Structure 1
Amino acid sequence: MTPSVIEKLVEIRGIESNYVDAWGKPATVSETSKARLLETMGYTVSDETALQTELKEFVANNWMQPLNPVQVNREGEQVVCALRLPIELVNDSYDLRFVLEDGTELHQKLIPSDGELINVAHIDDIEFQEYIIDIQHVLPLGYHDVHLLGDDGDKIADMRQIIAPKSCYKPDNIADGNKVWGLSVQLYCLRSEKNWGIGDFTDLTYLIQESGRQGAQFVGLNPIHALYPADPEACSPYGPSSRRWLNFIYIDVTRLDGYSDESVQAIVKAPEFQAALEHVRNVDYVDYDAVVKLKLQVLKAVFEVQWKKSLSKNTKLNKAFKGFIEEGGESLEMLATYDAIQEKLASEGKASWGWPVFPKELSEFHKPGVEKFFKANSKTVKFYMFLQWQAALQLDAAQNAAYQSGMSIGIYRDLAVGVSEGSAEIWGNRDLYITEASVGAPPDVLGPLGQNWGLPPMDPETLYQQKYQPIIDLFSSNMKSAGALRIDHVMALLRLWWVPKGENAKAGGYVYYPVDDLLGILALESHRNENLVIGEDLGTVPDEIRIKLAENGVHSYRVFFFEQAKDGGFYSPHHYPVQSMSTLTTHDMPTLTGFWHCLDLEKGQELGLYPSEEILQELYSSRHDNKQQILDTLHGHFSIPDWMGRQVEQVGMVKELNHGMQYHMAKGSSALLSLQLEDWLEMDKPVNIPGTFKEYPNWKRKLTRNLEQIFSDPVLNSLALGLTETRKKASEQK
């Protein structure tokens, strides 16, 4: 294979050849890995002639688009656009028509050759010329359509013009320098006296009201994206079916109109139902199969009640439901149809885990067979639309409760980096996703062997050709009923580590994305939805993305245990960037108790996560040193009692050390401080162990106490009020 052909494609498709690893050392992507990445994109790397043809076609297709599919500019910038035409057409007159988002039309007459010639190409013996055209109008913030019209008024080309703010939205109190705290929870973990074995939106409302009463300004959630009703054990919130829609499992069924109907109560009061309900409430890990069975049984009964009374008639309630369906558009229809197909296949005992095993006629959303299925099963599809409607209403009620409780932010949601291979999101837009690759990470501190997350990446070129609409939809939908959005693995806006199917994570490579455009869209949606934005920038992070995030008003994510100097000491939280959210631990890390007593290392050894005994011993040694440095830091800043030992061998994770670490963080300079309920409860088991699948019950562990018990505990109430006071003092020192 001629290296120049490969290298040219590697360059134009954004595959990186060199990067700096998590330990600050230069790393190189092998030629084999780069070739495999091109193969995942659909290129015939094994055939030089075919590859040369594919390269020429890619270049030609770009030249034969008179206008770019989409362009993003920031407010106040001089807007220009590129225009490409055959040479014989560059002296003709054209009309550039702008249709603004509010329907206003603007026009600009132009002759391309009057602009600046910047490039020339020959495609099939035809010379094409590219000019830069100055846009004469000042366009407002928003999404606008641009049409290139000939003298005869015929449309020649279209472009989406996006005008974005310079940076993301910040609430007034954060912009004014106030420092706030909140709790971070996995919603499914919550126990309460009335829930059905899994945390729900009513529990969330209670948590918001009680923590808000004590001064918390937000509650951060794990991703609450739609999962798989017919496959409950596929429960990872970071491997969803659709990131635009919600997980129905969080609906509080008892709050729905129709729940008190005799037909529904007959189901709920049945002895076998009550026995199953007692089981799911009492087990320490969420029994997803049992919970979903219970909830779906009752939700279908409630839906039947509402269908007979309202949803099949010309009622106010049905009009609201129809309005929700209309607003949801094709995306909602796609998810609901997918869920209905999966339910039917599962009920027939057929393979149903995702679209790759669906019958051929149902394997893509836009196939005629799917339309036929929709018509034949329209009521079932409507049921799954109903679930999304009810989930959205209950989530919105929780956010309204946050504002009524005096929270300045309220709910902050979490946007996962991708969807699983068999997801509805890929089923509905197959062209966008590279299903022969998976998102992951090169070797780093959290994953010494590298990580493969099993999430097919978006193709940046297809995303561009689709005018960024999928990203716009993702940002917009995840900012609904929230005051902040955390973007998991925010480096995805700049680059993603792609792992070809069948390869080890180490054999992957970075593929770049249009970061400036994506950040512009993020800023625009942030202002429209009044959402503060947090970017999870852990792992192998290039300086350029941190700089860009800061310039765009995205809050960095600072984890205490990772904020370490070269000499091993831990940076004081006083030195964290103001524009950041700080935390002690995350869902991918051990709890404070687990960390201090090395329970994560014990479990990792048990599960075979470490390549050698030597590496494991190095980790133990490093942990011992880190704990000593932490103890020194806490004593040095008077964050723990003086009576507490100064040698780590003498100090266990007691309540005073636990609370002292939280107060230590509360004194810091970060605008936001997020603390986990697990650490309030001094729990030792982690939420998730990276690098495991079925070896550990990830995403299932519940809290050890009910919410009602937590907020009636005087010790925890005192901790919360103390955190509020400490944050207030930190604000006054700005």
Structure 2
Amino acid sequence: MTGTRTDELARLAELHGVAVSYRPAPDRTVTVPTSAVVAALHALGVDATTPEAVRAALADRERALDERLLPPTVVHWAGDTHDPAALTALPPGTRVRIETEEGEESYRASAPLVAGLPPGVHRVTATAPDGRTARAHLVVAPDRLPAPPGRSYGLLVQLYSLLSRRSWGMGDLGDLAELAGWAGRVAGAGFVQVNPLHSAVPGAPTDPSPYRPSSRRFPDPVHLRVEDVPEYAYAEDRERLAGLLERAARLRAAVLDRGALIDRDAVWELKREALETVLAVPLGPGRRAAYDAFRAAHGQALDDHATYYALAESHGPDWTTWPDGLRDPRSAATARARAELADRVAFHTRLAWLTDGQLRAAQRTAREAGMPVGIVHDLAVGVHPEGADSWAQQDVFAAGMSVGAPPDAFNARGQDWGLPPWRPDRLAACGYAPFRDLLRALFGYAGALRIDHVMGLFRLWWIPQGSPPTEGTYVHYDAEAMLAVLALEAGRAGSVVIGEDLGTVAPGVRETLQRRGVLGTSVLWFERDWTGDGRPLPPERWRADCLATATTHDLPPTAARLTGDHVELRDRLGLLTRPAAEERAEAVADAAEWLALLGSLGLVDSVGLVDSIGPVDSIGPVDSIGPVDSIGPVDGLGQVDGLGPVGGLGPVGGTATGPPGADEEAEVRAVHRFLLRTPARLIGVWLPDGVGDRRPQNLPGTCAEYPNWRLPIADREGRAVPLEELTAAPRLRALLEVFAQLRGG
């Protein structure tokens, strides 16, 4: 049914949470293609291909809703004195049995039905007087998520880019612990935020983007510090390990000393070989007990994860091309293969345990160093369609659909991120178990969690396979249930949650997130008075419940933004959509307005860019940029396949073209003094800003043109800076001194 939309189809779509239109702006409504609505319904198990099928499906859905006693998942916020609406709507005389997570049972026949229940996901069975019975999951959640313990600042870094003289060619968990220990004790930082450390799709070349992982449930062992594994000291083949250390030293030197790009595949090849030797050492009784406890805690999910990686070694990473029987994780063929590959399954299980252990150790180091928050981990929007999670959890993923973003002012063609979405109906039916388990695993080692594209808790843009992003539609999720599960697991762990809410945000979403205690994300360059004159928003008008930053991994570093180097980079790569002169003028005007505001607040001297461009008042507000709500999510767009040194970009990127270094450093510090003037609870410092790096870690819209996700932290000349030099850099120390008043919380 791809032609004229009917009222019946619109009603059917509404009852399944599928949008037939959306509003990108308050004064504009866009009708989505009927083909997208039909495809989304098909992915939800609903046939809407003909008018007759639509009528039958609509009748079935309406009858099912009329007859059901309870929805599959019910939410109760602990501070609410009333029963959830789903329970108060039960017929008079309905008998309710509640079984808590701890196995305690109680029978209730009158309100309040949920009084006294502890936080958790309980089971409710309702039996109506007419004999109808319904079972549901009851999520009892705290009213709000944990708040940050005081006000603090922290460092933002892509872990792979943080190489030390001990790492094996990319930053690892040993480097993370070293940075956290230094930042907490010496710089008084309250947290370190890193990129997603989820497991990557195996094979070479692997996708370098941390935002398109194989699994979000388990971390990637490529981040292990091999020498920190306790069994390393007892490995028998010392000659083999010595040879691997020498090769790792050459790989590291190529990046730090000779301008090579980070080669994740080469790093993993060395670490995998070393770990094969190390894991041959038997575990001692205490370590064995800890390992067994880890396996018991993660159960079937861990077994599936390790089985996928064992099977991928034999059949390749794309499970959709495996022999028929192996495509089903619950088949007899998979059970036989799991037994035959027991040694490899055990190897990958051990890797998951070791990586989890080093992540927990990094968080302990951060807290012991005085950080009130510690390590902030990043949760990607979704997973690769050919990876471990999509294989193991096929029942909760929407087949034939991909997540992306609709067209907007910055991307008229929309975006397709290549991530299969979760089915909202299947999530509700199982009490959001996959989401709960994912959060519980991450909160096990996270002082805080950043949720990429947090609007996905409310709705996601579904694109039918083979269609352009323009021909998608929004599918809605039960945001109350998603937030309740998030509040429950964050509360149990005592962890803060930060939502990345940049981009197109539906009305009311930010307010709902704030009410439940989810912090937002505010980036300086986007904080303008979009409802007024468009000028930079003064610090006192910023929201308090947010992480405030000057930039992100998808945006130019602060020095590049202030000097206009980001325009020169895009011009060299042929990415500009307007004449370079126009782009440069707009960039100058943008920076000038901000610097003028900083100067008026006494945060920067009248030097550098402000003096070099003439009076700021002659430029006027930068109205052509448009509101931040028109910017779509950009994580995971740029990929690099076999890209060597990037010609024309300098050793590993561009070189400085802006004003003298002293002025630049003063202006960068002024930007961060401004952030300190805002009421933001958390303030993030992009670590590469501490050494004048010019290159974004990801340049959205590029593929082979730019080495996304493969650049080490470098100085303004493009020379890689190892962790040991970074922490001693006068420029970084001067920048962090801006936050001296926040030290000690």
Q: Which TM bucket (shorter chain)? A: 0.7 to 0.9
SS at match of 2:302: helix
**1:16 aligns to 2:19 (yes or no):** yes
Aligned to 2:182: 210
Question: Is the Cα–Cα contact under 8 Å of residues 355 and 364 in structure 1 kept in the other structure?
Answer: no
Match of 2:688 in 1: 678
Is contact 1:22-1:541 (8 Å) kept? no
Q: Is contact 1:446-1:690 (8 Å) kept?
A: no
Deviations for 1:408-443, whole angstroms, at most 9, x for unmatched residues?
Answer: 000111111111111211111112111312111123
CA distance in 2, matches of 1:61, 1:300: 54
Is it true that 1:158 corresponds to 2:135 in the alignment? yes
Q: What residue identity is the alignment partner of 1:241?
A: S
Greater mean deviation of Cα atoms: 441-450 or 545-554 = 441-450
1:441 is aligned to 2:392: no
Query: Are 1:336 and 1:384, in contact at CA under 8 Å, matched by a contact in 2?
Result: yes
Query: Counterparts of 1:27 and 1:80 in 2: how far apart (Å)?
Result: 34
The change in CA–CA distance for 1:691 and 1:508 in structure 2 (over 3 A counts) is: farther
What TM-score, normalized to structure 2? 0.86
Partner of 1:127: none
Structure 1 residue 579 displacement after superposition: 0.9
Distance 1:17 1:626, change over 3 A: farther
1:31-70 aligned at under 5 Å gives the runs: 31-62=34-65, 65-70=68-73
The answer to whether the 8 Å contact 2:165/2:252 transfers is no
Letter in 2 for 1:319: A
Amino acid in the other structure paired with 1:289: D
What is the aligned counterpart of 1:688 among 679, 689, 698? 698
> d(CA) in 2 for partners of 1:445 and 1:649?
28
Distance change (3 Å), C-alpha of 1:600 and 1:297: same
1:237: which partner in 2?
A: 210
What residue number does 1:520 align with? 484
- For the residue of structure 2 that corresponds to 1:159, the secondary structure is strand
- Identify the residue that residue 734 of structure 2 maps to in structure 1: 718
Question: Are the structure 2 counterparts of residues 65 and 370 from structure 1 closer, same or farther at C-alpha, using a change threshold of 3 Å?
Answer: farther
In 2 relative to 1, CA 407–504 (structure 1 residues): closer, same or farther, beyond 3 Å? Answer: same
The secondary structure found in structure 1 opposite 2:462 is strand
Q: Deviations over 1:17-49 (max 9, x none)?
A: 443327975444344443343344454443332
Q: Deviations over 1:437-464 (max 9, x none)?
A: 2111123466453211111111111211
CA shift at 1:553, angstroms? 0.9
Q: Which amino acid in the other structure matches residue 276 of structure 2? A: K
Equivalent position SS for 1:196: coil
- Give a deviation string over 1:255-311, Cα, whole Å, max 9, x none: 1123234534221223x76245412442242111210100000011111123xx54x
**Alignment correspondent of 2:246:** 274
Number of equivalent positions: 682
On the 8 A contact 1:23/1:444 being kept in 2, the answer is no
Matched, 1:583 2:549: yes
Superposed, which structure 2 residues align to 1:317-336 within 5 Å? 317-336=287-306
Distance in 1 of aligned mates of 2:735 and 2:106: 59
| 1:642 has 2:592 as partner | no
Stretch of structure 1 that moved more, 670-679 or 617-626 = 617-626
Change (3 A) 1:643 1:618: closer
Match of 2:200 among 215, 222, 227: 227
Query: Which stretch shifts more, 33-42 or 397-406?
Result: 33-42
The match for 2:232 is 259
Matches within 5 A, 1:251-650: 251-261=224-234, 263-270=236-243, 274-275=246-247, 277-283=249-255, 284-306=260-282, 310=284, 315-345=285-315, 352-444=316-408, 447-566=411-530, 567-605=533-571, 607=573, 609=575, 612-613=577-578, 619-644=583-608, 646-647=610-611, 649=613
Q: 2:180, 2:192 within 8 Å by CA — same for their partners in 1? A: yes
Deviation at 1:474, TM superposition (A): 2.1
The whole-number CA distance in structure 2 between the counterparts of 1:705 and 1:634 is 29
Separation in 2 of the partners of 1:24 and 1:487? 29
Please tell me whether residue 96 in structure 1 is matched to residue 101 in structure 2: no
Match of 2:169 among 197, 200, 209: 197
Q: Choose from 176, 183, 186 the match for 2:155.
A: 183
For 2:161, give the aligned amino acid. C
In 1, the alpha carbon distance for the partners of 2:298 and 2:140 equals 24
Kept in 2, the 8 Å contact 1:264–1:298? The answer is: no
CA contact (8 A) 1:229 1:292 kept: no
Q: What amino acid maps onto 2:304 in structure 1? A: M
- Give the letter for the 1:670 counterpart: A
Match of 1:79 in 2: 83
Q: Which runs of 5+ in 2 are unaligned?
A: 615-657, 714-719
User: Are the counterparts in 2 of residues 421 and 435 from structure 1 also a CA contact under 8 Å?
Assistant: no
Q: Which moved more, 1:76-85 or 1:156-165?
A: 76-85
Q: Is the 8 A contact 2:201 2:384 kept in 1?
A: no
Change (3 A) 1:22 1:291: farther
Rounded Cα–Cα distance in structure 1 between residues aligned with 2:507 and 2:612: 34
Instruction: Please tell me the residue identity of whatever aligns with 1:265.
Output: R
Judging changes above 3 Å, is the alpha-carbon distance between structure 1 residues 394 and 276 closer, same or farther for their aligned structure 2 residues?
closer
> Equivalents in 2 of 1:674, 1:419: separation in Å?
26
- Residues 7-16 or 134-143, more deviating: 134-143
State the distance in 1 between where 2:598 and 2:137 align: 53
How far does the alpha carbon of each residue in 1:106-151 deviate from its partner, in whole angstroms, 9 at most, with x for none? 11248xxxxxxxxxxxxxxxxxxxxxx8626432222211234699
State the AA in 2 paired with 1:37: A
The verdict on how the C-alpha distance between 1:555 and 1:648 changes in structure 2, with shifts beyond 3 A counting, is: farther
**Shift in CA distance, 376/262, structure 1 to aligned 2, threshold 3 Å:** closer
Deviates more, 1:286-295 or 1:600-609: 600-609
State the distance in 2 between where 1:659 and 1:81 align.
52
1:241-261 CA deviation, whole Å, 9 max, x = no partner? 111111111110011123234
Alignment partner of 1:254: what SS? Answer: helix
> Partners in 2 of 1:609 and 1:718 — Cα distance?
35
Offset, 1:659 = 2.0
Letter in 2 for 1:716: L
**One-letter amino acid of the counterpart of residue 709, structure 1:** E
* 8 A contact 1:22–1:445 mirrored in 2: no
Query: What is the Cα deviation at residue 707 of structure 1?
Result: 1.1
Could you say if the C-alpha distance between residues 712 and 621 of structure 1 is closer, same or farther in structure 2, counting changes exceeding 3 Å?
A: closer
CA distance in 1, matches of 2:176, 2:242: 26
Higher mean C-alpha deviation, range 562-571 or range 651-660: 651-660
CA contact (8 A) 1:22 1:443 kept: no
**In structure 2, distance between residues paired with 1:598 and 1:22:** 30
Residues 81/602 of structure 1: CA separation in 2 closer, same or farther (3 Å cut) = same
- Distance in 2 of aligned mates of 1:568 and 1:68: 45
Q: Distance in 2 between the 1:498 and 1:136 partners? A: 36
Specify the SS of the correspondent of 1:79: coil
- Please point out which of 139, 144, 148 is paired with 1:167: 144
Task: Please tell me whether residue 660 in structure 1 is matched to residue 670 in structure 2.
Answer: yes
Return closer, same or farther for 1:236/1:648 CA change in 2, 3 Å cut-off: same
Q: Specify the alignment match of 2:647 in structure 1.
A: none
CA distance in 1, matches of 2:680, 2:535: 19
Whole-Å Cα distance in 2 between the matches of residues 266 and 24 of structure 1? 70
Greater alpha carbon shift after TM alignment, 291-300 vs 24-33: 24-33
| 1:655-682 superposed Cα distances (whole Å, 9 cap, x missing partner) | 2222221222122210100011111111
Shift of 1:692: 3.0
SS state at 2:280 partner: helix
**TM-score if structure 1 supplies the norm length?**
0.87
In the other structure, the counterpart of 2:629 is none
Cα RMSD after superposing both structures: 2.8
